[in-house]
């Protein structure tokens, strides 16, 4: 018996010892041999990580107005498995549908999503209707989730509703459609598409950070636990060269063209000819990048850099500049207009007026936009080699280097005499709108071909380091003297109200140079008699260019009779006048009042008692210059009075404080009447000398503390009284002179030249502007409408 007990005791002890040894061995294996492996697995369970999302850089205009920015948004996801287990599927579907405004089918598809084996998913994103939602919508969803949670707690089913709301970032475009093709857009999946967004995606995209720490079971951070922190780095901020206001003027004018002529599209580029900075770039129709999914891709296309077309008569500027530079253009030399037989060929070049205008000067040929004149200058006098040399120097047939995707090169074909002759007046060559701008900017700025650019600066938000884009000269194409002469010739195309094809672009008070274009489009290898690309390009002021503007309109209705001078020139006039006023460019002369020129006057809006910001918006909408006098928040008075008719170049003064607190404003360019009213309003005494408009002022103070403002006035430059007034007034003030309020009111505080007659289109032929072909050789065999067969050998 005892022996059996001892045996069982030894057996039990042996088994226990063996088990203990196994346990010790296992512990040793886990703790020592594979200790690192299990420690890392434990750390993974203890650790929590939070992604620190980096913001994408902002895109602004040159003045800091935001065009694209990241804002807080929310993404919604659900747990179909949990929702099904809790039996709240229908409640969740109904609540999400009503709160988000999403479709019932999209919500149901996400909430009831199953795997292939029939099991419910544990996580599904509500991409349709619940992605990147705004905060007010997210707040409503939070309330619904709380109500559902309370109901679950009441039923003792837990507190997790299976609805997840994650904070994220959303790309927002505060200006909506403005400059949309230039800026581009970001998809909901944060993919960069088109424009600046795509071209500078790497610079705009930031680097996400991370915050990793150790937690307990309640997800509370352990005080002694390891912490890993890598700060996010936001993307670089980009300032564009465009001006939001000028961009608005351009798009507003293009909308007017679209409504009146119903073309396929309209494109415009405005630039500073001295720096190559793009001030505006627009295409209509456009789109709203905030709702990009509702737009056809065609509306996102930037024709300004990505479409090739034959330019027509606007291309004559390059031929003219080359002819003047080579000394073969004599404006007074006479020639026979109408037709020109191409040497050694059976074709004849004709003017858009087949009978011509008889024997006329080459300058008149420019004004009439005579093809014959330019074939003589180009093919006959410059020759093919020189022509091609200058066209290449002006940048045609090559990319400009602007910081945008999809820029095309175009082509110049000089194989046959007919092609050489046609190229002289802009037919048979293919160009882009941005090439036209760069070339004419070179003509305007003294002969320097600049690299056009849309980037003003790029700023690193972390280091505050800013990289500026400096103006870059490619080459000197023509001399400054040639540039000056060509400007004067092109000015007459606009200023000659009898025969100038660009007369509808004339701006009273400013010197404007320009050229029209009316080009037939190639349809099926033949030039259409009904489909045209019409255009206008020019710059102002001629003596000191501040803006060069190109407008192209694809297939306006009644194209045969709606040429560049009719369709594009009036829009050019509207945009340039508003832009010059926005830039503070003084007119070359003060327009004189004339009953025939009332149509260009602007009615001063009522802004009294408005907030200063609101008043500014109303005046900017009419492109009126203004000056705020005082530091008040509201407008107490305004000069000129509401409802007054003024010239667009005249300044509006906004008085925001009582007169004893007001400084003396800048009165330059103001009429005597307004100067008297202004100084009276601020409690100052005006002592004028001369008549007309204020050209200078001096402010002094009497012993009693009253301010005295001495002003010198002159009649409008160019008037009959001007030279006499200059001689009479001299260079100094008559210190004792004092004039009454009735002294010399200048005739003509505002006006513009007579409304020019509409011209039906100055150039009968040339090319295709709308096919967006990437091939530089497209249309090699196209016939030349302005070149006809003579029947001669």
CATH number of the domain enclosing 263: 3.40.710.10
How is residue 633 annotated by DSSP? Answer: S
CATH number of the domain enclosing 125: 3.90.1310.10
Domain-located, residue 44: no
What pLDDT is stored for residue 662 in this prediction? Answer: 74
What pLDDT is stored for residue 777 in this prediction? Answer: 35
What are 379-399's pLDDT values in tens digits? Answer: 999 999 999 999 999 999 999
Domain-located, residue 621: yes
What pLDDT is stored for residue 253 in this prediction? Answer: 94
* Same domain membership, residue 614 and residue 533: no
Q: Do residues 609 and 642 touch, judged by C-beta distance below 8 A? A: no
What pLDDT is stored for residue 725 in this prediction? Answer: 45
Structural domain span for residue 390: 244-590+763-789
* Same domain membership, residue 394 and residue 341: yes
What are 241-299's pLDDT values in tens digits? Answer: 999 999 999 999 999 999 999 999 999 999 999 999 999 999 999 999 999 988 888 89
Domain-located, residue 14: no
Pairwise CA distance, residues 640 & 208, whole Å? 55
* Same domain membership, residue 399 and residue 322: yes
State how many domains the chain has: 3
CA 260 vs. chain centroid, Å, equals 23
* Same domain membership, residue 266 and residue 126: no
What pLDDT is stored for residue 299 in this prediction? Answer: 93
Domain-located, residue 223: no
* Same domain membership, residue 653 and residue 572: no
What pLDDT is stored for residue 751 in this prediction? Answer: 31
What string of H, E and C letters represents the secondary structure of 547-605?
Answer: EEEEEEEECCCCCCCCCHHHHHHHHHHHHHHHHHHHCCCCCCCCCCCCHHHHHHCEECC
* Same domain membership, residue 614 and residue 700: yes
Domain-located, residue 745: no
Pairwise CA distance, residues 50 & 47, whole Å? 10
Residues (pLDDT < 50) of the chain are 593-599, 717-785, 788-793
Domain-located, residue 351: yes
Q: Do residues 270 and 279 touch, judged by C-beta distance below 8 A? A: yes
Domain-located, residue 182: no
* Same domain membership, residue 331 and residue 427: yes
* Same domain membership, residue 560 and residue 439: yes
Whether cis (ω within 30° of 0) applies to the bond prior to 640 is yes
Domain-located, residue 21: no
Structure tokens at 210: 């991370």
CATH number of the domain enclosing 695: 3.30.10.20
* Same domain membership, residue 336 and residue 267: yes
* Same domain membership, residue 608 and residue 568: no
H runs (alpha helix) in 188-243: 195-199, 201-204
* Same domain membership, residue 661 and residue 586: no
Put simply, whether the predicted model's pTM sits higher than 0.75 gets the answer: no
* Same domain membership, residue 88 and residue 131: yes
Catalogue the active-site residues.
313
């Amino acid at each position: 018996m005892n022996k059996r007990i001892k045996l069982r005791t030894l057996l039990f002890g042996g088994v226990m010892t063996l088990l203990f040894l196994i346990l010790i061995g296992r512990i040793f294996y886990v703790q020592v041999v594979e200790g690192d492996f299990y420690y890392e697995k434990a750390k993974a369970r203890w650790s929590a990580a939070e992604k620190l999302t980096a913001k994408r850089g902002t895109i602004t205009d040159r003045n800091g107005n935001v065009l694209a920015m990241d804002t807080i948004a929310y993404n919604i996801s659900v747990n179909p498995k949990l929702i099904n287990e809790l039996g709240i599927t229908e409640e969740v579907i109904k609540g999400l549908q009503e709160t988000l405004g999403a479709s019932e089918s999209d919500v149901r598809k996400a909430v009831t999503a199953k795997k292939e084996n029939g099991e419910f998913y544990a996580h599904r994103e509500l991409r349709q209707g619940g992605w990147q939602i705004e905060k007010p919508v997210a707040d409503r969803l939070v309330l619904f989730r709380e109500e559902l949670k309370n109901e679950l707690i009441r039923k003792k089913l837990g507190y997790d509703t299976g609805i997840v709301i994650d904070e994220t970032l959303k790309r927002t475009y505060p200006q909506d459609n403005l400059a949309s093709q230039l800026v581009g857009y970001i998809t909901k999946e944060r993919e960069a598409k088109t424009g600046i967004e795509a071209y500078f995606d790497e610079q705009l995209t930031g680097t996400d950070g991370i915050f990793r720490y150790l937690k307990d079971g309640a997800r509370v951070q352990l005080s002694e636990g390891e912490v890993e922190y890598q700060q996010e780095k936001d993307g670089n901020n980009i300032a564009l060269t465009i001006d939001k206001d000028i961009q608005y003027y351009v798009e507003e004018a293009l909308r007017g063209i679209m409504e009146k002529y119903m073309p396929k599209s309209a494109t415009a580029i405005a630039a500073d000819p001295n720096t190559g900075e793009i001030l505006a770039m627009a295409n209509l129709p456009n789109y709203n990048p905030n709702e990009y999914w509702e737009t056809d891709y065609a509306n996102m296309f930037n024709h300004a850099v990505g479409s090739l077309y034959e330019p027509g008569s606007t291309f004559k500027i390059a031929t003219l500049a080359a002819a003047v530079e080579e000394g073969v253009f004599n404006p007074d030399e006479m020639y026979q207009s109408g037709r020109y037989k191409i040497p050694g060929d059976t074709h004849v070049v004709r003017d858009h007026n087949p009978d011509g205008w008889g024997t006329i000067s080459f300058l008149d040929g420019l004004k009439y936009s005579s093809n014959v004149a330019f074939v003589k200058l180009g093919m006959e006098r410059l020759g093919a080699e020189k022509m091609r040399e200058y066209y290449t120097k002006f940048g045609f047939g090559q990319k400009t280097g602007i910081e945008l995707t999809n820029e095309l090169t175009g082509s110049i074909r000089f194989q046959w005499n007919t092609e050489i002759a046609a190229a002289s007046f802009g037919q048979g060559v293919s160009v882009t709108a941005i090439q036209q701008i760069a070339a004419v900017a070179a003509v305007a700025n003294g002969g320097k071909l600049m690299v056009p650019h849309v980037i003003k600066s790029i700023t690193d938000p972390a280091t505050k380091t800013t990289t500026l884009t400096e103006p870059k000269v490619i080459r000197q194409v023509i001399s400054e003297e040639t540039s000056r002469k060509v400007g004067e010739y092109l000015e007459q195309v606009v200023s000659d109200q009898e025969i100038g094809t660009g007369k509808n672009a004339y701006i009273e008070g400013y010197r404007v140079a320009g050229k029209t274009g009316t080009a037939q489009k190639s349809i099926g290898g033949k030039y259409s008699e009904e489909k045209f690309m019409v255009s206008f390009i020019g710059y102002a002021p001629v003596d000191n260019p501040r803006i060069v503007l190109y407008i192209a309109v694809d297939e306006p209705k009644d194209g045969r009779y709606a040429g560049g001078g009719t369709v594009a020139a009036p829009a050019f006039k509207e945009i340039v006048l508003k832009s010059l006023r926005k830039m503070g460019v003084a007119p070359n002369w003060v327009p004189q009042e004339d009953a025939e020129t009332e149509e260009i006057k602007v009615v001063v809006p009522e802004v009294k008692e408005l907030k200063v910001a609101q008043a500014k918006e109303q005046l900017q909408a009419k492109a009126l210059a203004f000056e705020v006098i005082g530091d008040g928040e509201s407008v107490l008075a305004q000069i000129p009075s509401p409802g007054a008719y003024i010239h667009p170049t005249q300044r509006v003064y906004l008085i925001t404080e009582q007169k004893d607190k007001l400084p003396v404003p800048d009165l330059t360019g103001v009429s005597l009447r307004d100067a008297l009213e202004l100084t009276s309003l601020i409690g100052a005494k005006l002592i004028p000398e001369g008549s007309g408009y204020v050209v200078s002022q001096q402010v002094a103070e009497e012993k009693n503390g009253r301010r005295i403002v001495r002003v010198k006035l002159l009649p409008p430059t160019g008037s009959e009284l001007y030279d006499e007034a200059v001689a009479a007034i001299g260079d100094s003030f008559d210190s004792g002179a004092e004039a009454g309020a009735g002294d010399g009111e200048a005739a003509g505080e505002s006006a513009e030249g007579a409304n020019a007659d509409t011209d039906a289109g100055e150039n009968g032929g040339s090319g295709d502007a709308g096919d967006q072909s990437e091939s530089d050789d497209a249309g090699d065999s196209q016939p030349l409408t302005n070149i006809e067969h003579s029947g001669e050998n």
